[in-house]
Amino acid sequence: MSATHATVSVPADFTGLVDAHRGILFKVAASYGRSAEDRADLVQDITLQLWRAWPGYDRGRPFATWMYRIALNVAISQQRRERPLDAHDPLGDEHADLVGLADVDAEDRERLALVRRAMHALGALDRALLLLHLDGCGHREVGEVLGISEGNVATRLGRIKQHLRRQTGAASRSEGDPT
């Protein structure tokens, strides 16, 4: 008896839409993955979940909103299953991402690392909200993706901004920066 290999036909519209919006995959993975390997795994997990959910996608709705919702759900679920960061390595390997910024001076790289640490300290929902906001999504779209009201988006975003200002300001002052 010979073994046969089943082939899966991926619809061109699925592939085209995922390719056109692949930046979403990488943004979510960068926000929730602790290491390069974690981020690569997360991109694969999100893509697999997108494929599984594809038959239920309403073609009348924006693809990016649907993709964000699935990507964030996968990332948050994965984060809940993982153990906390090791005490000896509070940043994972995120500095590896910052080293590639050759045109950014050392002080700016340190500020970027500081902001990234503050973002990673946010809860899963707040981090997702901030990611969507930074990606240019309006309050309505953020609310649709996260399943919360526009008013809740505005309130949470204001609190997140205050929290980040306090965190980054306190850290830079403790490092001798007078700002």
pLDDT tens for 53-82 read 999 999 999 999 999 999 999 999 888 887
| 86 token code pair | 């090791």
Could you tell me the pLDDT band of residue 170, with boundaries at 50, 70 and 90? low
Enumerate residues 6+ apart whose C-beta is below 8 A from 11.
54
What is the per-residue pLDDT across 71-111, written as a single tens digit (0 to 9) for each? 999 999 888 887 554 433 334 444 444 444 445 567 777 87
**Axis crossing angle, helix 63-81 with helix 12-20, rounded to the nearest 10:** 80
**What is the pTM assigned to this prediction?**
0.67
What is the per-residue pLDDT across 116-131, written as a single tens digit (0 to 9) for each? 788 888 888 999 999 9
Give the number of other Cβ atoms within 10 Å of residue 149's Cβ: 12
Report d(CA 51, CA 45) in Å as an integer.
Answer: 10
Report d(CA 45, CA 114) in Å as an integer.
Answer: 28
Domains and CATH numbers, the chain: 11-90 (1.10.1740.10), 103-179 (1.10.10.10)
